[in-house]
Amino acid sequence: MKKWLVGLMAAVLLAATPGVAQEVLTIGVRSEASSLDPHWTQLSADLQVQEHIFERMVALDSASQPVPGLAVSWEPLDDTTWEFRLREGVTWHDGEPFTAEDVIFSMDRLRGGISGAPASPAFTLEKGGKTWEMIDDYTVHIYTDGPYPTVAEDLAMVPIVAQHAAEGVTASVDFNSGQAAIGTGPFIFEEFDPGNRVSVVRNPNWWGGDVQWDQVVFRPVGQDSARLAALLNGDVDMIDYPPTIDLPQLEENPDFTVSTIPSDRLIYIMPSYRHVEEFIRDNDGNVMVPNPMRDWRVRRAMSLAINRDAIRDRIMGGASLPTRNIVPPGFFGYVDELEADPYDPEAAMALLEEAGYGDGFQITLHGPNDRYINDSRILEAVAQMWSRIGITTEVDAMPRNIFFSRLIRGDELTMPGFDVPEFSVSMTGWGTVAGEATYTVSGTLETYNAATGGGNGNFGRYSNPAIDARSVLAKQTIDPEERLAILQEAIQIGMDDYAYIPLHFQVNNWAMSSDLVHEPRTNERTLAIEVNRVE
């Protein structure tokens, strides 16, 4: 019944102004959404569609800075208590009122675990030992087990769902059908047709004000050339990830415009630190003991062997920022002294010789072929560069859904909290939440700990007590200057140890017809409320 009602509501809204042309925005996207359940994954392709329907207490602006969302304000009452005041007068898409009960339900749902979810944001609730309490219909208290300054930034990752719509439903399935996809956001679910389209329609009662578009359609077009052709032919109004090689021509064409912003997305190489690795073998094909990735000289050699400038100029069309940092310039925690490693294959070979691997060895480099800008080309380029210094590298690139499942979970025998990531050396990406490094240090450098949420993105299972101590301390330090110094120390330690190998920060680009204007976002997501007709 609910699914029928949602579909009827969308149809009524589309037909609400007979005789008046509907404003429809069609967006060609590189990566298809896999789920409309906002507690199911953390993939950007899912999040950018879900964020049209569902909202969070704390929103992020285009520069990834926290701003009021469903909460109008927040403040610490003492060292372990934060008070969030909720926005009054907000209604769900079916007309039911939004209250603190929905917030409590959403956090309870996440903490209870979403059966089958590949990578839910539940880990962010474990950080700081968070608990919560409803004080009244529009007040929520969040308690931590000690001082914890980034509660608001953490909650920017927690979507709020309607208790009356989501309680007792089948995770993901009933959201994809529309039955549970009832949010408070600027758009209302209309249709999810996997492989073809996701469409939403304007919410006339959105608390944020008027929305220009009557309907927004997300069309997945995975191949870059096909996505560009869809724009040029007028089949879509805008696209994400336009082919970098075509950016100059698009910028010169008066029929189209390009919006650009530096990304918070770090592209990096993650080695695995187990004693024995299946995908690392000697030149005779035997598994190596110990795993050479455990020697920092080998990791540094691999970094020095990468020509980041060539990747930027020849593969990325200039749309990358070579780096050895883990957060981009301007973000809280950026370390000025960390400059991108120079291309120095001779020094790389000398380090391998010093480490006892002068004869080289063989590895398989895993990565996605449809997630990041020019990802498969980057994989091939890095493999060639490593092969030149004696590390014979085979590339295994695969669709993102398969890659991330194997990267995070390993195989069907693992389970959340006991995951065994499969790959020995992989290329992946990480976006920094809320414009600061606490989340990135904790997520990618801290030792993996499912109980605390630490290391949730540490798929190589790197472990360094000096970083762990600083990461935990940073999450408990209220004074921003003190926290900045602690985070920068942790980052410096990790990068000096080559915990992983940063390549570059992506530069985000969108291409669209010239009658549109777009406010780009550092976190890569395409939000229809930030696209408007040129006046």
Q: What is the pLDDT of residues 16-70, one digit of tens each?
A: 445 456 899 999 999 899 999 999 988 889 999 999 999 999 999 998 889 999 9
pLDDT at 1: 41
Q: pLDDT band at 118, cuts 50/70/90?
A: confident
How do residues 282-312 score in pLDDT, each as one tens digit? 999 999 999 999 999 999 999 999 999 999 9
How many C-beta neighbours within 10 Å does residue 208 have? Answer: 15
Which of residues 166, 199, 220 is at a domain's end? 220
Give pLDDT, residue 526: 96
- State the chain's mean pLDDT as an integer: 92
The answer on 197 and 48 residing in a single domain is: yes
For residue 2, the model assigns a pLDDT of 45
- On whether both 277 and 198 belong to a single domain, the answer is no
How does DSSP classify residue 311?
I
- CA separation for the pair 64, 75 (Å, rounded): 20
In this structure, are 102 and 155 located in the same domain? yes
Encode pLDDT of 452-474 as tens digits.
Answer: 888 989 999 999 999 999 999 99
- Does residue 62 lie in a domain region? yes
211 with 277, same domain: the answer is no
Instruction: State which amino acid sits at residue 421.
Output: P
148 plus 43 within the same structural domain: yes
Per residue in 249-266, pLDDT tens?
999 999 999 999 989 999
> What does the pLDDT look like over 470-484, one tens digit per residue?
999 999 998 999 999
Whether 305 and 409 map to the same domain: the answer is yes
Secondary structure (3-state) at 204: coil
Whether residues 179 and 324 share a domain: the answer is no
pLDDT band at 15 (very low <50, low <70, confident <90, very high): very low
Asked if residue 67 is part of any domain, the answer here is yes
pTM comes to 0.81
> Do the domain assignments include residue 245?
no
What CATH number does the domain containing 180 carry?
Answer: 3.40.190.10
Adjacent-strand bridge partners of 265: 431
- Domain-located, residue 512: no
pLDDT at 9: 54
Residue 19 in domain? yes
pLDDT in tens, 327-344: 999 899 999 999 999 999
Q: Are 392 and 379 in contact (CB under 8 A)?
A: no
Is the residue at 166 inside a domain?
A: yes
> Residues 362-394: pLDDT tens digits?
999 999 998 899 999 999 999 999 999 999 999
Residue 412 has pLDDT above 80, yes or no: no
pLDDT band at residue 117, thresholds of 50, 70 and 90?
confident
Residue 430 in this model has a pLDDT that exceeds 50: yes
Instruction: Tell me, yes or no, whether 533 lies in a domain.
Output: no
Count, residues in the chain: 535
- Predicted local confidence at residue 273, as pLDDT: 96
CB 27, CB 512: distance < 8 Å: no
255 assigned to some structural domain? no
Please report, rounded to a whole number, the percentage of residues in the chain having pLDDT higher than 90: 82
The dihedrals phi and psi of 372, each to the nearest 5 degrees, come to -105, 165
Residue 51 has a pLDDT of 97
Distance CA 348, CA 305 (A): 6
Neighbours of 281 (CB within 10 A): 17
Q: State whether 108 and 197 are in the same domain.
A: yes
For 9-14, the CB contacts below 8 A with 24+ separation are 9/93, 9/94, 9/188, 10/188, 10/189, 10/190, 10/191, 10/201, 13/188, 13/201, 13/202, 13/204, 13/214, 14/190, 14/201, 14/214, 14/215
Are 166 and 274 found together in one domain?
A: no
pLDDT of residue 413: 60
338 and 425 assigned to the same domain: yes
Both 211 and 283 in one domain: the answer is no
Share of the chain above pLDDT 70, in %: 95
- Tell me how many domains the chain contains: 2
Do 176 and 323 reside in the same domain of the chain? no
Residue 422 belongs to a domain with what CATH number? 3.10.105.10
Range of the domain at 449: 262-507
